[in-house]
Amino acid sequence: MAAAVAGVSLDPTTTGGRTALFWPRFPKSAATIQYASAIQGTARGDFAIAWRFEPSHNSAFVTIRIRFLIPPSAAGVLRLPIPVSTKTQTSLRHALFIPNVTLLKASASNECNKRREARLGFPYSWEYNMTEKQWYKLESKKKIGTPCNSFLFHPSLNRTKWSGESDITNAVSKRLDQSLVSGFYEIVLNNWKLEKEIEGSGRIGNIPEYFNSKNLGPYCKDGSTFEWHIDDATHII
């Protein structure tokens, strides 16, 4: 589930785990999920991705920052969702040097463990009221989780030396995949428009209005057949 939300999987056409597909999916609203991260392990190394909304989670337009890592001797394919608004601008840049991943993971894990020991979790969960057809925050006396940043957003990376930014807005709007080589990358989507979440009859994780939608996406034009494009393997979720 984490990999599906954050957006990383082995590319359907890869062999030997050489190529990963980065396909982040963002919620319509930033009210319940503000960030996501995942790691796809392979024999060639770990592919990793993390994204977050920033800085405001309540405005109609937000900035989304994505970072992802492609290990040495590997490759990646970037497939971003098409923005709802024409105001959205997308830029891509890469680090001039790949950071010390082992040290980053250790530092991030150490900080997360300290947060857990200090019980810096959150005393609530999000539930869906089927009568009023809206989400609500259910308060709890027990802190049920400890939010921790992905190692890709560790503060030590603030000193990263980046290349110049490339504007990939046009490629994203045309749904063109970007082929990338090994490296550490950052994407910034400015003026990403938020939308109202679908109102459904189920609770979290079971909203039939999502999977019964007539809009099956660009990879399944005819829902009456089982003739899928090979890239559907990463869109079925």
pLDDT at 220: 52
CB 52 within 8 A of CB 31: no
Q: Comparing C-alpha atoms, which of 81, 22, 29, 76 is closest to residue 195?
A: 29
Is the pTM for the entire model greater than 0.85?
no
- 55 cis-preceded (ω within 30 degrees of 0): yes
CB 43 within 8 A of CB 17: yes
Q: Comparing C-alpha atoms, which of 58, 9, 42, 36 is closest to residue 152?
A: 36
In whole angstroms, what is the distance from residue 25 CA to residue 181 CA?
Answer: 22
pLDDT at 75: 93
pLDDT tens by residue, the chain, 237 residues: 456 678 888 888 887 788 999 999 888 877 767 888 999 888 888 899 999 998 765 578 889 999 999 999 899 999 998 888 899 999 999 999 998 989 999 999 888 888 877 777 777 777 878 888 777 888 877 766 677 788 999 999 999 999 999 999 999 998 889 999 999 999 999 999 888 766 655 555 555 555 555 655 554 555 555 454 545 444 443
pLDDT at 237: 39
pLDDT at 209: 55
pLDDT at 206: 54
Which residues touch 205 (CB under 8 Å, ≥6 apart)? none
Count of residues making up the chain = 237
Rounded to 10 degrees, what is the CA torsion of 205, 206, 209, 212? 110
pLDDT at 234: 44
